Amino acid sequence: MPPLNVILTAGEISAGVQRLARQISDDYRHKNPVLLGVLKGCFVFMADLARNLDIFVEVEFVTLSSYGRCRTETSGEVGCVLGIRIDVRDRHVLVVEDIVDTGHTLKFILDYLQDRTPASLKVCALFDKPARHHVEVPIDYLGFTIPDVFVVGYGLDYDEKYRHLPSLYAYEGDP
């Protein structure tokens, strides 16, 4: 196993998730928002975020493809949105992302959703790597800004490994 150096501990992440949940609960009270998670990486974050909310929400997921297996950056060619099973028209939609890297994934999904005229459209991202952005994307609720290193854990993978780790680590292997 390559060396994994802790960037954020499970406790630090938990505190950040609780802070985000408080903000979202305050801002979306009585709005019955749709939390739209971008799979797969969001699955841990979504589960923790949802359990810290004290408002009613609907939870949905979409799957997109960007990274090829064993690759560590997006190509900029993001695949089709799959699996949106609800009509987002006139709904308050909050996109839930684990990480914003180049921004291509988020831009693609925001453009897709905006065309479907939601009542509002905002973004909650747990991790952001601003040094890597290729495109401008709004992040309305941000957990942590992180350095430009490849990270795994808390839902994020390398070659489908390490998603289960409760902390966030810099992956210092040779991808």
**Number of Cβ atoms within 10 Å of the Cβ of 22:** 13
CB 24, CB 85: distance < 8 Å:
no
Phi, psi of 78 (to 5 degrees): -95, 135
Between residues 88 and 139, which has the closer beta carbon with respect to ligand PRP?
139
Of 98, 101, 128, 157, which one is the catalytic site residue? Answer: 101
- The least CB distance from residue 61 to ligand PRP, in Å, is 11
Residues whose CB falls within 8 Å of the CB of residue 104, separated by 6 or more in sequence, listed in order: 66, 74, 76, 77, 78, 134, 135
Torsion angles phi and psi, residue 26, rounded to 5: -65, -45
* Part of the chain binding ligand PRP (CB under 6 A), chosen from 8-16, 20-28, 38-46, 49-57: 38-46
* Catalytic residue check, 101: yes
Dist. CA 154–CA 141, nearest whole Å: 18
Among 58, 47, 57, residue whose Cα is nearest residue 25: 57
The 60-99 site mask, x for binding ligand PRP (CB under 6 A), equals ------xx------x----------------------xxx
Judged by beta carbon, residue 55 or residue 81, the one nearer ligand PRP is 81
Site map (CB under 6 A) of ligand PRP, residues 103-142, x = contact:
xxxx------------------------------------
Residue found by looking up tokens 């949905």 in the block: 60
Give the one residue of 8, 17, 35, 100 binding ligand PRP; rule: CB under 6 A. Answer: 100
Q: Residues 6 or more apart from 3 whose CB is under 8 A from it?
A: 172, 173
If the CB atoms of residues 88 and 102 are measured against ligand PRP, the closer one turns out to be 102
Q: Which residues bind ligand PRP (CB under 6 A)?
A: 38-41, 66-67, 74, 97-106, 157
Catalytic residue numbers, as ranges: 101
